[in-house]
Amino acid sequence: MIAPAQMLEGEMLCGLEQELLEFAEQHEACVLGIMQFWKNIPRVGPRQLGSAIYHYVDEKNEIYEFVKGRLRVLCFQSDGAICVCCHAFLKQSQLTPKAKIRRAVLIKKEYEAALASGRIKIQAEENL
């Protein structure tokens, strides 16, 4: 299930933002690096970041991984233009844990169902 947003210093944070805040204390450079990648996505697209930074971890389900140091963020694309990030974790071994991939697949299915039923509306950002 998609993590609910919680209040922190007057702002709503999603589950991914909460995870990144937890990692920031010990892995600040990695968190800032991931955030910088995301700033570039509207301009160049995620695939232009290079395969060392952004690549498949589950080709069948089209789950991708952002990499910065030991920090990993799993995500998927929607409508070919939107990158939906699922969750973050620190790499512990050579391979991405199957449980982390299964969680991302579940989040993707929930997102797609919500989009199909009209519970999510995509709104284009201005100033891009």
Kind and range of the H or E element at 6?
Answer: strand 6-8
Residue 105 maps to a domain: yes
In the structure encoding, which two tokens stand for residue 44, read together? 């160049």
Residue 53 maps to a domain: yes
Provide mean pLDDT across the span 63-85.
88
Cα angle 114, 115, 120 (rounded to 5 degrees) comes to 80
pLDDT: which is higher, 27 or 43? 27
The Cβ-side half-sphere exposure at 41, using a 13 Å CA radius, reads: 19
In contact, 80 and 45? CB cutoff 8 Å:
no
Rounded CA-CA distance 62/86 in Å is 13
- Number of structural domains the chain divides into: 1
Average pLDDT over all residues of the chain: 83
CATH for 14: 3.30.2310
Residue 3 maps to a domain: no
Q: Flag whether pLDDT at 107 surpasses 90.
A: yes
Per mean pLDDT, which range of 5-14, 68-77, 86-95 is the poorest?
5-14
Query: Shortest CA distance to 101 belongs to which of 56, 35, 38?
Result: 56
Q: Which domain holds residue 100?
A: 8-116
Q: Flag whether pLDDT at 57 surpasses 50.
A: yes
